Amino acid sequence: MAAPVFAAPETSGASTPSRGWLTAYLDLPVTLHAPAHARRAVRAVLDGWCLNDQNWLREVLLVVSELVTNALRHGTGDIAVELHLRDDVLTIGAYDGSPQVPRPRTPDDTGGWGLAIVESLTLAWGVDTHGDGKRVWAQMRRYPSRSLT
């Protein structure tokens, strides 16, 4: 598994992630373990950004897991996760190599409820197509951190 790549441009000298924006990018192995790798890496990134509210983290990690699982099941090629924190909104993006846009499920469907879970936990979600692939993204409001510092 590749290590996350971090960038922190335009933080305006802030010592916490409450101003400006922060970004992290992670290439994932295309294996059944990709969702677990993504959860561990995202948790480490958010801990590094002093975003450690446990209830909020559980929701974020569930969203990450659903997006990566969908990329693994329905996408092709490489998988990546990108995090952007701008002010109080965290954007989670999952990239894969398939241009096929996910379709919403109907009440009669017996499975495939991952995006319904994502929708219930987030401010918004959507899909951006690019070249031969796509990014499925979701936005969540940042909870106050409970840092010891």
Instruction: Give the predicted TM-score (pTM) of the model.
Output: 0.81
Report whether 138 contacts 124 (CB < 8 A).
yes
Tell me the pLDDT tens digit for each residue of 30-81: 999 999 999 999 999 999 999 989 999 999 999 999 999 999 998 888 999 9
Residue 3 has pLDDT above 50, yes or no: no
Sole residue written with tokens 């693994």: 72
Residue 14: its pLDDT value, please?
37
* 21-141 under CATH 3.90.550.10, yes or no: no
For residue 127, the tally of other CB atoms under 10 A from its CB is: 13
Residue 2: its pLDDT value, please?
38
Cα angle vertex 121, ends 100, 129, to 5°? Answer: 20
Three-state DSSP state, 92? strand
Residue 107: its pLDDT value, please?
67
Task: List C-alpha distances in Å: 114 to 42, 66, 90, 106, 136.
Answer: 18, 5, 19, 13, 12
Tell me the pLDDT tens digit for each residue of 89-105: 999 999 999 998 887 77
Structure tokens at 122: 């987030």
